[in-house]
Amino acid sequence: MLRKTEWRRSGTRLSSIRWGVVAGLSAMLVMLATDAGAAASSVSEYRNATRRALAECGKADAGEARTRELVVKERRACIRRAQKEAGEKFSSALQSVENPSGKSALFRYREVFNEAIAGAQRLGQEPTAAYEQRQMSSRHALCHAWSKFELAD
């Protein structure tokens, strides 16, 4: 392989072709690394959005002086916002996954998230301890589904 200084001195067509091939391969590797980073970024954004949404919508109401109706209304609005934001990020995350088993695992993760976020609403007169246990179980199921996605992808 010729060095850049040798290529400049030699002036032969063969050496310029070699240098062009090396430069082209380097550019392709940089593009591939950038695409992989963008794909990983959109999947990470989706995961972070789902985790953040579940944490925000599943907060306990202890110590807050608000009426039950107001809390229920705020939580329902939070759930709708979370589903909308996660839905928007899901499409770009799905496009970045190339492996069919990875795509099906990401679909499963979305199903588990939708179940978990729907369960962020308290059930009637549910005790705080039962609600927190249910939320912990939902977060565990979400982590488990993500682990399956990572293994499939």
- In the predicted structure, residue 19 carries a pLDDT above the cut 50: no
Examine the pLDDT at 134 and tell me if it is beyond 80. Answer: yes
d(CA 59, CA 120): 8
How much is the mean pLDDT over the chain?
78
Tally of residues, the chain:
153
DSSP state of 120: T
Number of C-alpha atoms within 13 angstroms, CB side, residue 87? 8
Residue 18's CB is within 10 A of a number of other CB atoms, namely 14
Considering only 44-53, 109-118, 120-129, which range has the smallest mean pLDDT?
A: 120-129
pLDDT digits (tens, 9 = 90+) for 136-148: 999 999 999 999 9
Residue 5 has pLDDT above 80, yes or no: no
Q: Which tops the pLDDT comparison, 116 or 64?
A: 116
Whole-number Å distance between alpha carbons of 136 and 92: 28
